[in-house]
Amino acid sequence: MERIAFITGATSGIGRATAIAFARAGFNLLISGRRQKLLDELAAELTEMGVRVLPLCFDVRKQQEVVAAIEGLDDYWKDIDVLVNNAGLAVGLAPIQDGLIDDWERMIDTNIKGLLYVTRAVSPLMVKRQKGHIVNLASIAGKEIYPNGNVYCATKHAVDALSRAMRNDLLKYNILVTNIAPGKVETEFSLVRFKGNKGAADKGYEGMQPLSGEDVADVILYAVTRPSHVCLNDIVIMPSAQSNARDVIRKL
């Protein structure tokens, strides 16, 4: 049976790997992000794999762009079976008294408000069909806090809470919600957090093997392909060398 998945933040990292894993499993795909060129390149790659693909270039922080992209879908693409709310970022790593307001706003606007805008636009389509599955990319930072991670951790705690709240609200419409909480995953995440400083970005992975986007994608695909009476509510996935948000064994 044909299924459609909508993956936000598909231009890089976990989202990109998830799009490829889903295509391999035969999903037709809506993929989104702000970088048109990367979206187009991925769309070509996925099309080569034999699935239907529609790239949607928009910024999740801009509610009007979100609504226009989703309302503009034709009837075929509106039958979204799976939404992966993956677009997100950390910007900066500073104690609360030194934090930059602009960094805070980017994280809050993307990780909380952006996820809400997309969910608000897509969930009524699922309610109408009385089925669907929403996967939210939270983080180990949504379970714990760590030094200087304050606002990023707060946004991911919000995602964790929203996953539980969505699951509760959407229960009677046969819509499942899975919260995914990874530890360290080597993607563009750290480069974005450290604003292009590759040295600082690489340091976090020194002497240890982090997860890859593909490792997380594998788990997301597993979660959305269980029998219909099964829901994986909350999944914490860590590198073997990491036990919690703070403790990592490094072999230097």
Tell me if residue 184 is catalytic: no
State which of residues 82, 115, 141, 192 lies at the interface with ligand 8X3 (CB under 6 A): 141
Q: State how far the alpha carbon of 193 is from the alpha carbons of 46, 76, 89, 240, in Å.
A: 28, 37, 7, 23
Tell me if residue 152 is catalytic: yes
Count the residues of the shown chain that bind ligand 8X3, applying the rule CB under 6 A. 7
Pick 19 or 80: Cβ nearer ligand NDP: 19
d(CA 11, CA 157): 24
Pick 133 or 184: Cβ nearer ligand NDP: 184
Residue 245 site contact among ligand 8X3, ligand NDP, none (CB < 5 to 8 Å, cut-off depends on kind): ligand 8X3
Cβ neighbors of 15 (< 8 A, separation 6 or more) are 7, 8, 9, 31, 33, 84, 86, 87, 213
Pick 88 or 132: Cβ nearer ligand NDP: 88
- One of 113, 117, 143, 152 is an active-site residue; which one? 152
Q: Quick one: which of 39, 52, 44, 49 has its CA closest to 2? A: 52
Could you say whether residue 12 binds ligand NDP (CB under 6 A)?
yes
d(CA 55, CA 42): 9
d(CA 90, CA 149): 9
State which of residues 2, 25, 26, 35 lies at the interface with ligand NDP (CB under 6 A): 35
State which of residues 139, 150, 155, 178 lies at the interface with ligand 8X3 (CB under 6 A): 139
* Helix intervals (H) in the chain: 13-24, 36-48, 63-71, 75-78, 101-107, 115-129, 150-170, 189-193, 198-203, 213-224
What residues between 146 and 165 interact with ligand 8X3 by CB under 6 A? 149
Pick 129 or 144: Cβ nearer ligand NDP: 144
Could you say whether residue 187 binds ligand NDP (CB under 6 A)?
yes
d(CA 56, CA 48): 18
Could you say whether residue 105 binds ligand NDP (CB under 6 A)?
no
Both tokens assigned to 40: 């187009």
Q: Quick one: which of 211, 216, 240, 38 has its CA closest to 135? A: 216
Pick 63 or 174: Cβ nearer ligand NDP: 63
Cβ atoms of 209 and 239 within 8 Å: the answer is yes
Could you say whether residue 150 binds ligand NDP (CB under 6 A)?
no
Segment contacting ligand NDP (CB under 6 A): 4-12, 21-29, 74-82, 124-132? 4-12
Write out the residues near ligand 8X3 by the rule CB under 6 A.
Answer: 139-141, 149, 183-184, 245
Write out the residues near ligand NDP by the rule CB under 6 A.
Answer: 9-15, 33-35, 59-61, 86-89, 110, 114, 137, 139, 182, 184-185, 187-189, 192, 213
